[in-house]
Structure 1
Amino acid sequence: MAFVVRRDAGLYGYERALGRAGFARVAGADEAGRGACAGPLVAAAVVLPPRPLEGLNDSKKLTARARERLYAAITSAALAWSVVRVEPAECDHLGMHVANLEALRRAVALLEVRPDFVLTDGFGVDGLGTPSLAMWKGDAVAASVAAASVVAKVTRDAIMTAYAGDHPTYAFDVHKGYCTPLHQSELDAQGPCAIHRMKWDNVRRATRLERP
């Protein structure tokens, strides 16, 4: 198989090129929370319709309000979409790289429309049952991966905001479980809670700190 994507083809260039090569239904898959030390890993997969979605972009380049708007547009217009979560204990058990691959695999498997081709962000994923291509910074260069990044990010942010109500002293609604100075100071002061990933070095160190 060979297809050509021009550098100026825009965010939908890969989907259009794959369509010309006979792959009409292209799924994009991406995750959110891989670098966090608390909370679940969330992965999403999206099969977009041919018509472009206005304002679609890499979720990291969008404001929270823009992501919320696009989440609604994506989930309304998509030919199929899915989202899965891998809980902290399973992330610890599998290791983050394997957990990431498993999350992407599960998200694609849950799609109600079987894709002809899958684009994944960053890592090649085996066991998808369909041709696939791993893309460096795929969420910035392929529309379907960008859409998956938005769905995963908005879903995970909502999960972490809800956890802030259960564990108010950790400020999960602010840092979303990532290893920021605020998060680390609270972790060092209180020790880990039920949603921390216990295999992370900074979390393990915090379990050994003496507290008043």
Structure 2
Amino acid sequence: MSTLDLFEGLQTPTQAIESLAQQACVLRGFALPFVEALLPALDSICAAAPFRHMVTPGGFSMSVALTNCGRLGWTSDRSGYRYSAIDPTTEQPWPALPTSFLALATAAADAAGFPDFVPDACLINRYQPGARMSLHQDKDERDYAWPIISVSLGIPATFLFGGHHRADKAQRVPLFHGDVVVWGGEDRLRYHGVAPIREALHSVLGAQRINLTFRKAG
């Protein structure tokens, strides 16, 4: 039996599905059965590739701290946004995608109607109170046929899920520890973001929200 097989028997609450659009939804509490395995894996990733506040092409430091795992990692600096196999901070390959991460990503994609999804990148965002993510599209991936899988851990956040134009009104979706948002297909290029994080304290993760965002980037 492979290590991945050990996760197949986990009972995930797939019945708690909230539709956001035709091919976008929130899987409430879906990640909770995986958390015990996710957190030590997360600690190992952050020890090898520490969180950092990347700089945008416009020269602004992002309020959200970021690291990555997987074959590719997303980076930003004055020269632009891109995926790279090498961590520019450590000059080493990004840490491998842990089995627990992969099991969660594939299970969530399947539950949302996107079978056969195998991510090669996981962006790990750390939001502390006051941090936010402005509305944007995920357009740096090579193939938009694959969905985005976004996992919330820690303190609550308000997810902004907009339309195909920046000016479109965005839904305000409360997200809690263990919730997973999935969007793909005709909704893959919708604008989305995160409202400023409010002061709060999670019993395990403290005053922070960790967001795992799985993509097929290469």
TM range (shorter): under 0.3
Structure with the higher strand share, 1 or 2: 2
Structure with the higher helix share, 1 or 2: 1
TM-score (norm 1): 0.27
TM-score (norm 2): 0.27
